[in-house]
Structure formats: C-alpha cells, structure tokens
C-alpha cells in the first residue's frame, strides 16, 4: 500500500487533533529578552530582562488569536518565532504546515547560536527544534 492516498495525512493528524482539543495552553518557561518587536506588548512592560516566565506562544494549545490581538509578540526571539509558526498553522494544508515546522526548527537552531543564552534558553531551543522534526507529516 506504499504511496497510496490513504497513507497520507491531510493536515489533521493525531497530534493536530490532540493539540486542538487541549483545554489549557502548555507553554515552555523561558527567559525574557527585550526586543524591538515587543515595544507595544503591555504584558512585558514590567518584565525584567533575564528573568524567567511562561512563554506566550511556545507550546501546544496556544490561543493565538486572543494573544496576538492583545499585543503579545513573544518574550524572546524563540517565542516570537513560535508566534509566527502559530500564525502559519491557521493554514490547514499539510505542505504549508510542514514548511512552517521546518522554518521554526531552523529558527530554533539560529536561536541556539545567540551568545549568552542561559541553560533554560538552550533547553527551550532544543525542545522546539526536536518537536518540529518529530511532528513532520508524511505527504
């Protein structure tokens, strides 16, 4: 049955269904790094650079529309890349989702090259990069 249409996923695999039905957001804990893209993010106005807090977008179950509408853009570059990934996931096409997964895996690897990352930052980068490779769909 190799190569048959029934073996292909249509962008609604088991992982997608699980994530879409999560009753809570399951975000990673990350380090706040002040960035220009956060200028209008009220949730970060009192955040201290270098402190840890729950990420806004990195992790399954993110309520993207409400977070984006409230001005959240991520607590650091990795979280911002996760935000862009979440925006891409509005497209249910498995090819577009695979591309978004590849882009996020690449962004996570780039993030890991930043000087001065904490151990937590490095763990987050590796988790995101590995997760994106793990959920790659067969097309």
Longest dimension (CA), the chain: 57
Report pLDDT for 125: 96
Q: What is the pLDDT of residues 15-33, one digit of tens each?
A: 666 667 767 778 888 999 8
Has residue 112 been placed in a domain? yes
| Contact indicator for 21, 87 with CB cutoff of 8 Å | no
Q: Is the pLDDT of residue 11 over 60?
A: no
* Residue 115 structural domain: 22-134
Query: Does residue 13 lie within any of the structural domains?
Result: no
d(CA 132, CA 109): 11
- From 15, 73, 80, 11, select the one nearest 42 (Cα to Cα): 73
Residue 7 lies in a domain: no
Q: How far from 99 is each of 13, 95, 121, 137, CA to CA, in Å?
A: 16, 6, 24, 10
- In a domain, residue 89? The reply is yes
Q: Tell me the DSSP string of 62-102.
A: --HHHHHHTT---SSHHHHHHHHHHHHTTS--HHHHHHHHH
Confirm whether 16 is domain-assigned. Answer: no
Within-domain flag for 1 = no
- The reply to whether 42 falls in a domain is yes
Average pLDDT over residues 83-108: 92
Instruction: Quote the radius of gyration of the chain (alpha carbons, Å).
Output: 16
Number of domains in the chain: 1
In a domain, 40, yes or no: yes
């Amino acid at each position: 049955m190799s190569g048959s249409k029934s073996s292909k996923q249509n962008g609604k695999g088991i992982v997608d269904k699980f994530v879409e039905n999560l009753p809570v957001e399951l975000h990673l804990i990350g380090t706040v790094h002040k960035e220009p893209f956060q200028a209008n993010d009220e949730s970060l106005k009192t955040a201290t650079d270098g402190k840890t807090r729950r990420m806004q977008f990195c992790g399954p179950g993110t309520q993207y529309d409400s977070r984006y509408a409230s001005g959240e853009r991520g607590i650091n570059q990795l979280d911002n890349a996760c935000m862009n990934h979440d925006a891409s996931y509005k497209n249910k096409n498995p090819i577009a989702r695979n591309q978004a997964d590849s882009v996020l895996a690449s962004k996570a690897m780039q993030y890991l090259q930043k000087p001065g990352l904490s151990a937590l930052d490095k763990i987050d980068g590796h988790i995101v990069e590995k997760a994106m490779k793990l959920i790659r769909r067969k097309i």
